[in-house]
Amino acid sequence: MVQVVEVGVPHAGPGLIRLAVRPSGLSTGEGRLRSGALRERVPAPLPFRTGLDAAGVVDEIGVDVPGVRIGDEVFGMTDSATRGANADLAVLVAWAPRPAAWT
């Protein structure tokens, strides 16, 4: 069962950016983890935050992050240990500019 809950506001640490999330994904693997189907191979403590990938607008930049500005539209991924892309705000560890062809 997926539940919507309130969590603390994440902030971009050194080398990271925070994104105001527009779309985000929920992979089939995350669904299988949450269902317990992978319990033997990948024990996931509950509650389990979902969301590895997202797209949106950069709204906070950590120190030592070149080549990105507040307001840039990007897509990318969160840290696999913390996840959390299925939220209003997410911290990304890897990202790229949104291609102009993407709506």
Collapse the DSSP code of 21 into the 3-class scheme (helix H, G, I; strand E, B; otherwise coil) and give the result. strand
The candidate with the shortest Cα–Cα distance to 53, out of 91, 17, 16, is 91
Burial class for 75, CB neighbours closer than 10 Å (0-12, 13-18, 19+): buried
Domain locations in the chain as residue ranges? 17-97
Reported as a single tens digit per residue, the pLDDT across 45-78 is 767 778 899 999 999 999 999 999 999 999 999 9
Average pLDDT over residues 7-13: 93
Contact 73, 57 (CB under 8 A): yes
Would you state the CATH architecture of domain 17-97?
A: Alpha-Beta Complex (3.90)
d(CA 80, CA 44) in angstroms, rounded, equals 12
